[in-house]
Structure 1
């Protein structure tokens, strides 16, 4: 007898959805790749009433994702304004005092939450692809592509409304590239798209 008892046989009334391996991964390839996570948890910036931290770095074959945590001592009533990191996607206009995030690669490429890049651009791009939280804590998930070159990857944060000055934290681009080379395609036997 199974631990779960006698369960009825499931009825599969869904049509089979066929998958194919994409030629290129548009955005974060969470459906296709098991990323390598670097445990680089650190404070990115701190004010009297807020703290911005890097929780983890996930390395993919074509890019890198950062999980950024924002902690607030007092409730931030309008979570959409908890930084403006989502930019215009929530219809909230930007102000210089909002939380701003930027990335600079060792070769001089840079991108920030202030930039508006057209789709399909070949230069460094960053997109917010997830997030959740409360008025006291919010997690943002960002994806940058392409992978950084060797050398420092600078994360720049600033939140003037919360007395958090512009602060720069460097990560190791070579370590990110090495980890990305070890990311695993989950279904390599799928036919190409």
Structure 2
């Protein structure tokens, strides 16, 4: 008697296409090489925390803003450092954000304002294409050492911004980062998007 049962044949069309479908507006295209813009800046700092813009990547139908926050250890003991890292890492799911958590937003040249703060992310099952722009976290990761922790979130804007200023806004009151803004160029992002290329031809 065999240990493994015989495998059953499956139809090539057997998967649930509705379940596996990801709206094109919910995250960057996975089959496209974006064009990177040299947009980097230290957005805000405290004694032990820095919020950074690490770059902008333009896709054919949207833009990815690479945001980092870096935490350095000062005189915290092990327990205090571990607790601080957990607070800075923060919750990851919609509905879990606390008052005072990191908030990121974008204002477009036409006055449209978009906020990504954990309550405005795309959720599975939301397949209706929005009428306006969408802003949310496409990726979120982090890690480091006993002295420094680096976290990053890729802020996805869909579709491409209009010509004119694109204002990146932030605040993190729980860690002493007041509301601030940095103005980028929607025209530069749109120009760079023309250079985005498909990966598989």
TM-score above 0.5: yes
The equivalent of 1:36 in structure 2 is 35
Using a 3 Å threshold, how does the CA distance of structure 1 residues 108 and 83 change in structure 2: closer, same or farther? farther
Aligned residue for 1:161, secondary structure, equals: helix
Q: Deviations over 1:6-49 (max 9, x none)?
A: xxxxxxxxxxx9xxxx9x8342102x211000111111222232
Quick one: distance in 1 between partners of 2:192 and 2:91?
A: 26
Work out whether residues 83 and 100 of structure 1, in 8 Å CA contact, stay in contact via their aligned partners in 2. no
Work out whether residues 49 and 162 of structure 1, in 8 Å CA contact, stay in contact via their aligned partners in 2. no
Query: Please, what TM-score do these two structures have when normalized by structure 2?
Result: 0.71
Quick one: distance in 2 between partners of 1:85 and 1:36?
A: 31
- 1:106 is aligned to 2:109: yes
The equivalent of 1:64 in structure 2 is 63
- 1:142 is aligned to 2:146: no
Quick one: which of 131, 155, 162 aligns to 2:175?
A: 162
Work out whether residues 121 and 137 of structure 2, in 8 Å CA contact, stay in contact via their aligned partners in 1. no
Structure 2 unaligned spans of 5+? 1-11, 13-20, 74-80
Work out whether residues 91 and 97 of structure 2, in 8 Å CA contact, stay in contact via their aligned partners in 1. no
Greater helix percent: which structure? 2
CA RMSD of aligned residues (A): 2.8
Quick one: distance in 1 between partners of 2:160 and 2:91?
A: 21
Quick one: distance in 2 between partners of 1:59 and 1:78?
A: 34
Structure 1 unaligned spans of 5+? 1-16, 189-193
* Aligned counterparts, 1:1-193, within 5 A: 25-26=24-25, 27-30=27-30, 32-74=31-73, 75=81, 77=83, 81-82=87-88, 86=92, 88=94, 92-95=96-99, 97-114=100-117, 115-116=119-120, 119=126, 120-134=129-143, 136-188=149-201
Quick one: distance in 2 between partners of 1:54 and 1:151?
A: 19
Report how far residue 80 of structure 1 moved. Answer: 6.3
Count of aligned pairs: 165
Quick one: distance in 2 between partners of 1:171 and 1:93?
A: 27
Query: Please, what TM-score do these two structures have when normalized by structure 1?
Result: 0.74
Quick one: distance in 1 between partners of 2:164 and 2:91?
A: 25
